[in-house]
């Protein structure tokens, strides 16, 4: 059986690009610039279950995407979170925060999400494409 | 100027041990087994600001401590989070979760913390010492 992305991610996020280890997806929440990194490995629920090589790839991809987020959204405040309470498949949230965002300084989890409009979705996906190509 | 741990951590956590990159501390919240890893580097607020060598040390120490948490608290559910909205100095939370804990499957941030009693604090610090020595 090959690696598969959990169906819930298809309903809640959009493909941006594939990195060496991870699939990079935009989380469908207009309130925060928010991406998820999903390692393309089967049956992995925790960072500690990745092999050493993949652990290093993961931190490098977290750093790469962190730099993209800081640049695109003009902030140096990032939340980087491995939670997985709802969807156990290993995935890392990287969220650009601002002092004026909806929940600052609280967690993004204390407020309900809001889906992107088609227009805003296109805009943000274009932004990522410009900086990642 | 040498590296210093932010004073807020002294009020909210207890020293467990020092690893090569990070100081490992117990977060003072009886509701969840919860530690923080603080890289012993000056003026670092984000993972992407560490140099490549330290990034790799960080992921290795996250994995090491993750394995300790899973073993000590008999769970394979961990939350691993870099937030830093309140205290900007880079620190990583590693929290052992259970389906019966106070906020499952929600974030630990949706409930107020509860400090350890002296007895419970001693017990948990002893546990860490046994497995880390």
pLDDT of B110 > 90? The answer is no
In a domain, B52, yes or no: yes
In a domain, A111, yes or no: yes
pLDDT by residue, tens only, chain A of 133 residues: 689 999 999 999 999 999 999 999 999 999 999 999 999 999 999 999 999 999 999 999 999 999 999 999 999 999 999 999 999 999 999 999 999 999 999 999 989 999 999 999 999 999 999 999 7
CATH of the domain at B20: 3.30.428.10
Contact A89, A45 (CB under 8 A): yes
Number of domains in chain A: 1
- Give dist(CA A119, CA A124) in Å, integer: 9
Q: What is the pLDDT of residue B1?
A: 65
Residue A50 domain boundaries: 7-121
The 10 Å CB-count burial string (b at 16+, else e) for A65-86 is bbebbbebbeeebbbbbbbbbe
- Give dist(CA B20, CA B89) in Å, integer: 18
In a domain, A127, yes or no: no
Q: Do A107 and B107 touch (CB under 8 A)?
A: yes
Candidate from A62, A106, A109 with C-beta closest to B106: A109
Here the ipTM equals 0.95
In a domain, A2, yes or no: no
In a domain, B1, yes or no: no
Mind spelling out the 3-state secondary structure of B20-51?
A: CCEEEEEECCCCCCEEEEEECCCCCCCHHHCC
pLDDT in tens, B84-108: 999 999 999 999 999 999 999 999 9
CA A64 vs. chain centroid, Å, equals 12
In a domain, B62, yes or no: yes
Chain B residues touching A60 at Cβ < 8 A: 55
Helix (H, G, I), strand (E, B) or coil at A123: helix
Chain B residues touching A63 at Cβ < 8 A: 47-48, 55
Chain B residues touching A45 at Cβ < 8 A: 76-77
Q: Do A106 and B107 touch (CB under 8 A)?
A: no
pTM for this one? Answer: 0.96
């Amino acid at each position: 059986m090959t690696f598969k992305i959990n169906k819930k991610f298809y309903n809640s996020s959009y493909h941006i690009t594939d990195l060496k280890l991870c699939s990079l997806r935009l989380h469908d929440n207009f309130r925060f610039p928010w991406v998820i990194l999903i390692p393309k490995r089967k049956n992995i629920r925790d960072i500690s279950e990745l092999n050493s090589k993949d652990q290093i790839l993961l931190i490098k991809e977290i750093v790469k995407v962190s730099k993209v987020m800081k640049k695109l959204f003009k902030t140096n405040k990032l939340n980087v979170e491995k939670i997985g309470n709802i969807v156990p498949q290993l995935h890392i949230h990287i969220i650009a925060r601002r002092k004026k965002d909806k929940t600052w300084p609280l967690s993004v989890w204390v407020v309900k999400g809001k889906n992107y409009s088609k227009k805003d979705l296109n805009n943000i996906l274009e932004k990522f494409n410009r900086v990642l190509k």
